[in-house]
Structure 1
Amino acid sequence: MLLLGIDIGTSSIKVAVVDSETQQVITSAQFPEEESLITAIHPGWAEQSPAMWWEHVQQAFTICKASGKFNPHDITSIGIAYQMHGLVLVDKDQQLLRDSIIWCDSRAVDLGNGAFDALGHEFSLSHLLNSPGNFTASKLAWVKQNEPELYAKIDKVMLPGDFIAMKLTSQVTTSISALSEGIFWDFQTNSLSAELMSYYGFSESLIPEIKPVFSEHGRVSSAIAGELGLKEGTPVTYKAGDQPNNALSLNVLEPGEVAATAGTSGVIYGVSDQLTFDDQSRVNTFAHVNYAEEQKRLGVLLCINGTGSLNRWTKNLFGSSMSYAAMNAEAKKVKIGADGLRVLPFGNGAERMLENRLVGVHFQNIDLNLHSQAHLFRGVQEGIAFAFRYGFDIMRSNGMSPSVIRAGKANLFLSELFLQAFVNSTGVPVELYENDGSVGAALGSGIGAKTFSAPAEAFSNIRCLQVVEPTVTETYEPVYQEWLGLLNKQININ
């Protein structure tokens, strides 16, 4: 049996066809090759077109189909992973009402902070496990306040994965995991938060039917089956945010297990069995893919908005003719600490771990007679690693102390320099695996369709590629402490 996985990323759409028996990829594709457009008409705003996502899903699947390596009618289930926290709005005819306000958009921070104060910090943290902050519910409140005529036309509120599932099946569903990442869910009552919905003036009719993550979320319609060549009635049996899905793809499902990723954004994601929260909502807690009221599995998420995006920006401006591998090789020629150059990597919207401050990217201590292109490359990667350390210390203060972190060997984790900076800054080894969001989504669909008897069976062939151990923590520590001092000064300015 074949499984189809779709990953709705910020940069591109990835699609993979996976053999359920071997868990091996038959074929995969990414579209577009270059990064997708993010629209920012005001500072701190970020939008993308859901219609563009859907067009790119079709293009990526068409590329897979053109490989001739599989029969689309042999696909038995579909899974979807998606960029978290995005707001998608449709009318009663399932027509889009506006572009999506995506995860790194900061316009709703003040509204979320107002809700945090009005609902009460103790209530918000104990019931929602987070401040409403800059999450999906607050983005919807912004639309209600600033686009009232459009708001009046809304039939359903969705996250990005819900929208793609709707395009495939014409059905609209969501999950507890999705609602929790939007800060709509009350973990004490195990229901929609009546208090938050009332405070913002939202009708519960805006919320789609709630289904388990691993369950049927609709079946491919005849029209879409005809367009894509899929078998009519193929079920969508899994939907999850990209970070819970990344954790699933690394078989991170039980308390104490931790996953990391460093793509467009950087994330450390640990699993807990406690309704835990950070007093300042700097790290956030959501329902994991295997959350159930009787067996709580929560994902504790640290997010740095701009990791790979900063590395890409640096390449475009200072190394446009170079590959990332060449950049990494140049950076390795510079010693640890980049001869005093320090980089604060916070230029992609309000940072939750910095209490929703807009800090920006800062290059500190540049010496025009000393620092070269290679110093910039090293300073950026070290700065990103130090941002991970800063957030990881917050997680430690909240009881998350893993002995190892699992990550996919991709994006910044392909860089030996970044890996060494990461493990020596945090003091925790990293296990690297072959890992891909679309493959995780495909295997998730197999779990939802009961192709696998248990989640562990879906990852029975997972193999560790490499273990990277801390070796020179004492060398990195003073560099980190200097970086931390510069960050604290900048935070005080803001």
Structure 2
Amino acid sequence: MLLLGIDVGTSSIKVSVVDSATGKNIASASYPEKETEIIAVKNGWAEQSPEMWWSNVQQAILKCNASGKYDPKNIVSIGIAYQMHGLVLVDKNGNSLRNSIIWCDSRAVEIGNKAFADLGEDFCLSHYLNSPGNFTASKLAWVKQNEPEIYAKIDKIMLPGDYIALKLTGEATTSVSALSEGVFWDFEADSLATELMDYYGFSKDLIPEIKPVFSTHGTLSKEISEVLGLKTGVWVSYKAGDQPNNALSLNVTEPGEVAATAGTSGVIYGVTDKLLFDQQSRVNTFAHVSHTKTDSRLGVLLCINGTGSLNRWIKNIGSADMDYKTMNELSATVKEGADGLSVLPFGNGAERMLNNKIVGASLLNIDLNIHSQAHIFRAVQEGIAFAFRYGFDILKENGMQASVIRAGKANLFLSDVFAQSFVNITGVPVELYDNDGSHGAAIGAGIGAGIFASASEAFANSKVMQLIEPKTNNLEEAYQKWAHLLSQKL
């Protein structure tokens, strides 16, 4: 039996087909080849088209099928991972009403901050474990205030993965994990966030049917199965945000286990069984994929918006033939600390860990007689590692400890300079695995379909590719200078 995983990323769609008997990846494909752009009509705005995601999902599946490495008719279940916090609005026919307001969009910050103050900070933190801040509920409030003609047509609100499942099956569902990432869930009441929804004037009818993360969210329609070359009736049996899914793909499901990723955004994600929240809401707590009423499993998430996006920006303004491999090689020719050059990697909207401030990205302390392109590449990767350290210290303030961090050997973790800098400045070893979001989504589909009894069983054959341990280094001084520059910005 084969499992299909779909990862709806900000940059592209990736799909993987996994053999359920071995847990091994048979084939993968991404679409489009060029990284997808973010639509930014105004400063701080960030949107993408849901129809574009759906078209790209279909193209990625067909491209994977064309590899000839498997029979598409042997796929029995589908799992979906998706970029978190995005707002998708659909009408009664399941058609999207506007572009999705995605995770790094900052337009709703003040709306969320006002709700936080009006409802009471202690109330919001104890019930929602977060400030409404810039999350999905506040984005919906922005639409209600600024686009009432669109708001009036809404039948259901969705996260990006809910929308893709709807297009596959024709059924609208969501989960507690998805609702919690939008701040639509009250953990203390174990129900919808009634007070916040009433405050914003939202009807509960806007919420799709709530199902467990691992469950049947619908079956593939006849029309879509014919388009994709799959059997009719294939289950969609798993949906999760990209960071909970990344944790699942690394078998991070139990209290004390910690995962990291450094793609378009950078994240440290730790699992706890306690209702943890940060008094300043600089880190956020959501229901993990393994969360149930009887066994509390919460994901404490630190997010840095501009990690891989900054690395991409630096690549794109370089020479036309520049690639990431060359950038990594050049950065390795420069010594630690980049000869005093510092980068603040915060140019992708309001940063939650910086109290939802927009501080922008900065290249500081440039010496025109010393610093080269290679220095910039190194300073960017070290600056991103320093941002992780800054956030990791906030996690530790909130009781999150880590003896080891698990990550996929992908994106910035392909760079020896970044990976070693991350380990050296946090002081925590990193285990790298050959797993990614689409593979994790496929495994999630297997759990949801009952093929695997648990994540531990599903990842029984997963092996550590590389262990990176802290080495003697001189980064602490560079980090303290970096932190001082950030404090001046703030």
SS at match of 1:464: coil
- TM-score, normalised to structure 2, is 0.99
Following the alignment from structure 1 to structure 2, what is the Cα–Cα distance between the partners of residues 65 and 470? 42
Aligned to 1:202: 202
AA at the equivalent of 1:269? Y
Aligned to 1:346: 346
Aligned to 2:264: 264
AA at the equivalent of 2:487? N
Aligned to 1:485: 484
Aligned to 1:11: 11
Identity of aligned residues (%): 69
- Please state how far the C-alpha of 1:2 moved relative to its aligned partner: 0.3
Structure 1 consecutive aligned stretches of length 4 or more whose deviation exceeds 6 Å:
none
Following the alignment from structure 1 to structure 2, what is the Cα–Cα distance between the partners of residues 423 and 275? 28
Aligned to 1:330: 330
Aligned to 1:21: 21
- TM-score, normalised to structure 1, is 0.98
Residues matched between the structures, number: 490
AA at the equivalent of 2:181? E
AA at the equivalent of 2:488? K
SS at match of 1:137: helix
Following the alignment from structure 1 to structure 2, what is the Cα–Cα distance between the partners of residues 315 and 90? 37
Deviations 1:378-423 (A, max 9, x none): 1000000000000000000000110000000000001010011101
Any conservation in 2 of the 1:78–1:445 contact (CA below 8 Å)?
yes
Deviations 1:267-324 (A, max 9, x none): 0000000000000000000000010121100000000001011011111112442221
| Further displaced range: 314-323 or 207-216 | 314-323
Deviations 1:47-78 (A, max 9, x none): 00000000001101111111122222211110
Say yes or no: does 1:36 pair with 2:30: no
Any conservation in 2 of the 1:8–1:82 contact (CA below 8 Å)?
yes
AA at the equivalent of 1:477? E
Say yes or no: does 1:394 pair with 2:399: no
Deviations 1:326-345 (A, max 9, x none): 11111111111111100000
1:443-458 equivalence runs, <5 A: 443-458=443-458
Any conservation in 2 of the 1:78–1:237 contact (CA below 8 Å)?
yes
CA RMSD of aligned residues (A): 0.7
AA at the equivalent of 1:202? F
1:242-391 equivalence runs, <5 A: 242-391=242-391
Aligned to 1:151: 151
AA at the equivalent of 2:256? G
AA at the equivalent of 1:139? K
Say yes or no: does 1:121 pair with 2:121: yes
Any conservation in 2 of the 1:319–1:327 contact (CA below 8 Å)?
no
Following the alignment from structure 2 to structure 1, what is the Cα–Cα distance between the partners of residues 339 and 199? 52
- Please state how far the C-alpha of 1:437 moved relative to its aligned partner: 0.5
Following the alignment from structure 2 to structure 1, what is the Cα–Cα distance between the partners of residues 193 and 54? 31
Mark the runs of 5 or more structure 2 residues left unpaired by the alignment: none
Relative to structure 1, the CA distance from residue 397 to residue 157 in structure 2 (aligned partners, 3 Å threshold; closer, same or farther) is same
SS at match of 2:15: strand
Following the alignment from structure 1 to structure 2, what is the Cα–Cα distance between the partners of residues 41 and 82? 23
Following the alignment from structure 1 to structure 2, what is the Cα–Cα distance between the partners of residues 320 and 358? 30
Mark the runs of 5 or more structure 1 residues left unpaired by the alignment: none
AA at the equivalent of 2:465? L
AA at the equivalent of 2:278? D
Following the alignment from structure 2 to structure 1, what is the Cα–Cα distance between the partners of residues 327 and 141? 43
Following the alignment from structure 1 to structure 2, what is the Cα–Cα distance between the partners of residues 320 and 428? 37
Deviations 1:81-133 (A, max 9, x none): 00000000001111110010000000000000000001100000000000000
SS at match of 1:318: coil
Following the alignment from structure 2 to structure 1, what is the Cα–Cα distance between the partners of residues 73 and 372? 55
